[in-house]
Amino acid sequence: MKKLLAVAATAGLGLTGLGATSASATTGTSGAFHPASLAWHTCRADIVNGAKAYDSAGPVQVSKIIQCAELQVPLDYAHPGGQKITLELTRLPHQGSGAAKGDILVNPGGPGGEGALFGASVYARNSAPMQAAYNVIGFDPRGVGFSTPKLSCDVDYSDAPRPEYGTGGRQDDATWLEKSKDYADACTRKFGRGAKVDLLDHIKTIDSVRDMDTIRQALGHKKLDYYGASYGTYLGQVYATVFGQNVGRMVLDGNVTPKNVWYDAQLTQDVAFNKNMDYYFGWIAKYDSTYHLGTTQAAVRSYYYALQDKLAAHPLTYTSGGKTVAVGEDELVDNIQNAAYRRSQAVWHSYAAALSAYKAGDVATFAGTFGAPTTGGSDDNTFAVYNAVQCSDTQWPKSWAKWHADAVRVNRNNPFLTWSNVWFNAPCMFWGAKAGTPVKVGQSKNLPNNILMFQATDDAATPYAGALELHKILRGSHLVVQDGDRTHCIVHRGDLRPGGVDSYFDAYFLNGTLPKTDTVHVSQLGDPTPPAATSSGKAR
């Protein structure tokens, strides 16, 4: 699903295909390539430092136990003896005595999400029995994070303030179409045909799926145990179709439907995100005594969109300590979108408090929450890989008239995300790599019948209807549904109740136990409340 330019978020979508060689995608083989065994070693300092962010999530300090290994894989599996690229892997070893029950390979989504450190996140949030039983294996997919080469096209692309997203006006369209084409062209120059590494033609979902099977072989396993979130569910479902005979236990969390890959996926997201943002505005109104933005959903909504229009016309800049940040329409939308991804006190309160601060004249707090640097560039790796995978997995419409007409139609009733989503994906109109043909998920005689799916009914990034479609496609799968929840990906989100979400996750991996019924429904934990006020009257 879509990722944010200004903020890292776990979500994403993607598809598969190998162009002229895509027919081989259903053969269930990684060709003649045989990987070397993994040599685990102490991780480099930046990976250890990254893991420290998860040290407080559980009793085990993951930064002290994380291990690393590098795995060479073919750039092109059609030529296994040819050019190689390197994947970065991490291992968080089990804490029990004796041999581990197994290795769980994990992926956070994107496309473009960094999986090496996601392994630390998953391990830290695993229950004590899971930590005792399983090693967790993280990996940065090809082109991502600590893997090499790392895809980056234009580090200045997201310098703030960016041109306003607009609503389909001629000048806005012309500005963004030129900006999108320039980005796609920069990617082609650096990583397209004729470059030192032609990564753009070999970064489709099917390429990463084959990498996953190579990781299985390098780990020395006949079967792959896997947990994938968001776009990671697409990697899992394609793997289960192509390499079904190699699937051990597989959990898919926040599910992508293969029927919408990828153009139509953004349109369904537009509707779902708008719904969740309206709900969030209602939540802010409920706590008007804290935020003072309006006592009704309509009042808060009006305040927000008036502010968005104001920042589109006159972006705010703020300088402190020699660092200048800006907040325009784009930066506001990109950041507050996180409130529609996850129902949590920390997320919901931080954005509401920042909006409240702006209304009260506290520009520093507002800019600190929503601002992005005006110069100096930023790491565009996530955005670059997102486009590289989605734009080449399958052919996107080449007609701007279609994009424009669809956006105008959807935006009429769903104004929050529609045009942001258009311009986030617009480089696909100009992408320099040949588009592939998607694997037909589920069409395999080796499809496993033990996949466990998790889904919230009001997930905006991967809407519930798509999860129901995938559940039917993955014959024999089981589905755990959290009713009324608005969180994207629900495993390890704090539902530790007996019979709650995490209990199903643990029972499956520890004992192979699937829910007794095809679909089981779990109640949500409830909406958060603002933090308690301090003696000064301000929320902590």
Helix (H, G, I), strand (E, B) or coil at 360: coil
Cα→Cα distances 516→86, 451, 467, Å: 42, 14, 19
Asked if 241 contacts 479 with a C-beta cutoff of 8 angstroms, the reply is: no
**One of 230, 356, 420, 477 is an active-site residue; which one?**
230
Q: Is 521 a catalytic residue?
A: no
H or E segment and range at residue 6: none
Pairing assessment for the beta strands 478-483 and 519-523 based on DSSP bridges: parallel
For the chain, state the CA radius of gyration. 23
CA–CA distance, 409 with 406 (Å, rounded to integer): 5
Please list, in sequence order, all residues whose beta carbon lies within 8 angstroms of the beta carbon of residue 125, skipping any fewer than 6 positions away: 54, 57, 58, 492
Residue type, 416: F
Q: Is 380 a catalytic residue?
A: no
Residue 537 has a CB neighbour count (10 Å cut-off) of 7
Q: Is 527 a catalytic residue?
A: no
**One of 270, 459, 495, 506 is an active-site residue; which one?**
459
**One of 94, 349, 488, 492 is an active-site residue; which one?**
488
What is the residue-wise DSSP string for 234-280?
HHHHHHHHHSGGGEEEEEEESPPPGGGTTHHHHHHHHHHHHHHHHHH
Asked if 417 contacts 218 with a C-beta cutoff of 8 angstroms, the reply is: no
Please list, in sequence order, all residues whose beta carbon lies within 8 angstroms of the beta carbon of residue 62, skipping any fewer than 6 positions away: 51, 54, 55, 92, 120, 123, 124
Active-site residues, by number, are 230, 459, 488
